[in-house]
Amino acid sequence: MALLTLLAVIAGAIVRQRSLFGVVILFSSYSFLMASVMMVLDAVDVAMTEASVGAGVSSVILLAALHLIKTRETRPIRTQLAPLAVSVLVGGAVIWGSLALPPFGDGDAAIHRHVAPRYLREAVTETHVPNVVTAVLADYRGYDTLGEVTVIFTGGIGVMLLLQGARRRDSAPREKGKETA
Amino acid sequence: MSLDVILRVGTKLLLPFILLFALYVQFHGEYGPGGGFQAGVIIAGAVILLTITFGLNVAQRIAPSPVVQFMVPLGVLIYAGTGVAGLLTGRNYLDYSAFAHHSAEGHAFGIMLVEAGVLVTVAGTMTAIFYAFVERGR
């Protein structure tokens, strides 16, 4: 509960913060708190990913991006009433939908009765891998992980094209002389 | 240059342990938490730390840009190729039973190969993205 309260406090601070540098640092601490929440929920694999990707690498990459752009958020141009209404509506719908979820930690929930018992029972004999999370990710749900790796691949190629393609055009001899970086 | 002695020495001391921890996370992922994704990010983190303290040139002597960029598709290829090995032996795509006589042993080996593919792509992508930002910022 203390962790969740801290999460809410940091989320509020992120919204209030105008300096983007502060926002990145707050995001990083938000990720670390999220990793702690995952630890409390016994999802160590997720916690590890959250700590390394969310708090580590993505903060560094956001800081590197800040190096290229302005570091202060500009004041909004239009009134914020419409976005506020959308947020309240969507948030309300999510809360309304979550009321129909089974109680937290309920062993009889639908998601725990479909394939999960079979994975827990058979994973070690079928794959000789004691960590069921790894067995599910890399074997039973191999297609999903392949898709995940392809997403990372596509994202990386996209960023490289965006950043390096622009640089190459910059350094190429300019024909019209009007191009700006 | 002379004021960051602590950073430089600290980085030098930390780097081998970071890399060793990445390998531990990779190969212990079958027994404890971890796996290719986390290990890849930790390796990328080591390269990023090296770049931040010693500069891009030093880092690219150890992890040259072309190699890093080649790792991005290579990992996907390792993963997808592992799946094709199942097809070639008349099984389903991504069925690892073909790698050993005993089906479960084959699955364990297949999972190891697939995790290696994830590691290569993730480490390559994260490092390549960081390199792209640093080169753009110069």
More confident residue, B127 or A77: B127
Amino acid at A35: A
The pLDDT, as a whole number, for residue A103 is 80
List C-alpha distances in Å: B13 to B3, B10, B17, B21, B24: 17, 5, 8, 13, 18
CB neighbour class for B9 (10 Å; exposed up to 12, middle 13-18, buried from 19) = exposed
* Domain boundaries, position B88: 5-137
Residue of B nearest to A132 (CA): B30
Going by C-alpha positions, the residue among B47, B120, B44 that lies closest to residue B79 is B120
User: Does residue B27 contact residue A127 with C-beta atoms inside 8 Å?
Assistant: no
B83 with A146: Cβ contact below 8 A: yes
Res. B137: pLDDT tops 80? no
Residue A151 — very low, low, confident or very high, per pLDDT cuts 50/70/90?
Answer: very high
pLDDT digits (tens, 9 = 90+) for B57-74: 888 888 898 899 899 999
Residue B42 — very low, low, confident or very high, per pLDDT cuts 50/70/90?
Answer: very high
From the CB of residue A120, how many other CB atoms can be counted at a distance below 10 Å?
Answer: 12
Residue A179 — very low, low, confident or very high, per pLDDT cuts 50/70/90?
Answer: very low
CB < 8 Å to B37, chain A: 49
More confident residue, B124 or A104: B124
More confident residue, B120 or A180: B120
* Closest chain B C-alpha to A58 CA, distance in angstroms: 9
Res. A168: pLDDT tops 70? no
CB < 8 Å to B67, chain A: none
User: Does residue B52 contact residue A61 with C-beta atoms inside 8 Å?
Assistant: no
pLDDT digits (tens, 9 = 90+) for A74-125: 777 777 788 899 999 999 999 999 888 888 777 777 777 788 888 888 777 7
Query: So where are chain A's domains?
Result: 1-74
Report yes or no on whether pTM surpasses 0.90: no
What percent of chain B stands above pLDDT 90? 30
B126 with A153: Cβ contact below 8 A: no
- Closest residue to A53, CB basis, from B35, B41, B105: B41
Residue A172 — very low, low, confident or very high, per pLDDT cuts 50/70/90?
Answer: low
Q: What ipTM was estimated for this complex?
A: 0.84
Mean pLDDT (chain A) is 82
Going by C-alpha positions, the residue among B22, B30, B56, B44 that lies closest to residue B121 is B44
Residue of A nearest to B117 (CA): A149
Please, what's the b/e burial string for A51-74 (b: 16 or more CB within 10 A of its CB; e: otherwise)? bbbbbbbbbbbbbbbbeeeeeeee
CB < 8 Å to B46, chain A: none
CB < 8 Å to B72, chain A: 153, 156-157
* Lowest mean pLDDT across A16-30, A155-169, B76-90: A155-169
CB < 8 Å to A144, chain B: none
* Closest chain A C-alpha to B8 CA, distance in angstroms: 18
The pLDDT, as a whole number, for residue A174 is 46
Residues 6+ apart with CB under 8 A from A30: A7, A10, A11, A14, A54
Domain count, chain B: 1
B111 with A139: Cβ contact below 8 A: yes
Match domain A1-74 to its CATH number in 3.30.470.20, 3.90.1150.10, 1.25.40.340, 1.20.120.1200. 1.20.120.1200
Amino acid at A8: A
